[in-house]
C-alpha cells in the first residue's frame, strides 16, 4: 500500500488552554509533512478574527502550507473579500471557500443584504483575484439541503467550474459511499481532485450527533460496534481500527489523498497515519 498524501483540519482556539492544545496538535502532526493544514471559520462567522490570527500565526511559525476557511455568512461582499485580502497579505495561498452554516438557532442560510448569495458567487470572486488555490466542500452522503443526489453533484460541478481546484468531502463511514460519489462525479464530467474527509472518532456521542446534524448516514454495524466498545471501555481501540480500515479501503480503491478532521486532538489521527505508512519525516540535519 502506498502511503497517501495527507492534510489536517484544525479549529481556531478560543482561549489560552485551547491555544496550547492546538500548538500540541501541530507539533504532533507537522512532522508527517502534510500537503496543507486548514483552519475552520466558526459557524455564523463567529471566529472571524480568531481564524485570521490562527492562520497567520501558524503560517509564520510552523512553515506549513495553511489553508484558511472562509464563509459567506453574516458579512458583506466587501468585508468577506477584505478578509481574503488579509489572508493573502499574510502569505496564505489556499482558501476553503464555503457558503457556511448559519449562526446557532437560525434554521437556514440567509444571505447578508450586501453579501454573497451562495458559495458559487464567493468562489467566482476569489478566483477573480487570481491569488488563491480554492478548495470547496462536497457531500458523499448528500447535503441536507440538496434536492437530490444529482442536484448536489451538479452544484458541486458549478463550484469547481467557478474556479475551485479541489473538493474536500464531509466525513462518511464506508468507503463504498465515497466510491459511489466519485463515480457519480466522474459521470457528471467532474475531473478535479476530490479528497475524502476523514473523521477519526475521538468521541462517539459527539460524532453521532454531528453525523445526524449534517446528514451523514450511520451504518447499523458502526452503531452496534461503538455501543459494545463504550460498554467495555475500548472506544479508542475501535475508533483507530475503524478509521484505519476505512482509509485502507479508500487507498485500495485508488485514493491517494486524505483530509483528516483532527478536532485539535492529534493522537488518533497520528496513530491512523502511522498505520497507513505515513511516518514522521526526520530532518537529518537536525538529528546530527
Give least dist CB 51 to ligand FAD, A.
8
With beta carbons less than 8 A apart as the criterion, state whether 270 and 28 touch: yes
SS3 53: helix
Closest C-alpha to 62, from 114, 24, 26, 104? 26
Q: What is the CA radius of gyration of the chain?
A: 19
| Beta carbon nearer to ligand FAD, 98 or 243 | 98
Pick out residues in 23-52 that bind ligand FAD (CB under 6 A).
40-41, 43
Q: Tell me if 94 contacts ligand FAD by CB under 6 A.
A: no
Q: Which string of x and - marks every residue 122-141 that binds ligand FAD (by CB under 6 A)?
A: ---------------x-x--
Catalytic residues: 9
Q: Could you tell me which stretch among 93-101, 216-224, 262-270, 275-283 binds ligand FAD (CB under 6 A)? A: 93-101
Give least dist CB 252 to ligand FAD, A.
23
Q: Tell me if 197 contacts ligand FAD by CB under 6 A.
A: yes
Q: Which three cell numbers stand for residue 221?
A: 454495524
Pick out residues in 227-266 that bind ligand FAD (CB under 6 A).
none
Q: Tell me if 116 contacts ligand FAD by CB under 6 A.
A: no
With beta carbons less than 8 A apart as the criterion, state whether 83 and 56 touch: no
Among 96, 194, 211, 239, binds ligand FAD (CB under 6 A): 96
With beta carbons less than 8 A apart as the criterion, state whether 253 and 175 touch: yes
Q: What angle do CA 125, 127, 133 make, to 5 degrees?
A: 135
Q: Could you tell me which stretch among 94-102, 173-181, 240-248, 270-278 binds ligand FAD (CB under 6 A)? A: 94-102
Q: Tell me if 151 contacts ligand FAD by CB under 6 A.
A: yes
With beta carbons less than 8 A apart as the criterion, state whether 287 and 12 touch: no
Among 52, 59, 69, 270, binds ligand FAD (CB under 6 A): 69
Strands, E, within the chain: which ranges? 5-10, 36-39, 66-71, 94-98, 133-138, 166-171, 193-198, 257-261
SS3 33: coil
Q: Which residues of this protein are in contact with ligand FAD, per CB under 6 A?
A: 40-41, 43, 69, 71, 96, 98-101, 118-119, 137, 139, 143, 145-146, 151-152, 155, 168, 170, 197
Amino acid at each position: 500500500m502506498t502511503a497517501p498524501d495527507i492534510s489536517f483540519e484544525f479549529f481556531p482556539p478560543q482561549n489560552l488552554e485551547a491555544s496550547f492544545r492546538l500548538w500540541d496538535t501541530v507539533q504532533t502532526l507537522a512532522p508527517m509533512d502534510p500537503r496543507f493544514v486548514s483552519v475552520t471559520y466558526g459557524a455564523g462567522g463567529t471566529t472571524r478574527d480568531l481564524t485570521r490570527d490562527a492562520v497567520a500565526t501558524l503560517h509564520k511559525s510552523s512553515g506549513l502550507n495553511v489553508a484558511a476557511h472562509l464563509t459567506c455568512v453574516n458579512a458583506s461582499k466587501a468585508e468577506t473579500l477584505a478578509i481574503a485580502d488579509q489572508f493573502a497579505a499574510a502569505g496564505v495561498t489556499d482558501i476553503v471557500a464555503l457558503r457556511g452554516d448559519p449562526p446557532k438557532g437560525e434554521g437556514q442560510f440567509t444571505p447578508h443584504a450586501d453579501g454573497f448569495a451562495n458559495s458559487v458567487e464567493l468562489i467566482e470572486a476569489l478566483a477573480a483575484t487570481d491569488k488563491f488555490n480554492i478548495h470547496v466542500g462536497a457531500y458523499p452522503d448528500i447535503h441536507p439541503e440538496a434536492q437530490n443526489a444529482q442536484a448536489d453533484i451538479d452544484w458541486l460541478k458549478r463550484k469547481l467550474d467557478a474556479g475551485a481546484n479541489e473538493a474536500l468531502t464531509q466525513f462518511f463511514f464506508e468507503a463504498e459511499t465515497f466510491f459511489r460519489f466519485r463515480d457519480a462525479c466522474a459521470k457528471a464530467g467532474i475531473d478535479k481532485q476530490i479528497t475524502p474527509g476523514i473523521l477519526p472518532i475521538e468521541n462517539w456521542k459527539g460524532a453521532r450527533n454531528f453525523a445526524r446534524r449534517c446528514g451523514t448516514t450511520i451504518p447499523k454495524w458502526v452503531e452496534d460496534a461503538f455501543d459494545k466498545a463504550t460498554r467495555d471501555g475500548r472506544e479508542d481501540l475501535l475508533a483507530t481500527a475503524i478509521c484505519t480500515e476505512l482509509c485502507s479501503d479508500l487507498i485500495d480503491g485508488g485514493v491517494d489523498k486524505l483530509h483528516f478532521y483532527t478536532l485539535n486532538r492529534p493522537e488518533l489521527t497520528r496513530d491512523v497515519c502511522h498505520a497507513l505508512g505515513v511516518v514522521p519525516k526526520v530532518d537529518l540535519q537536525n538529528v546530527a
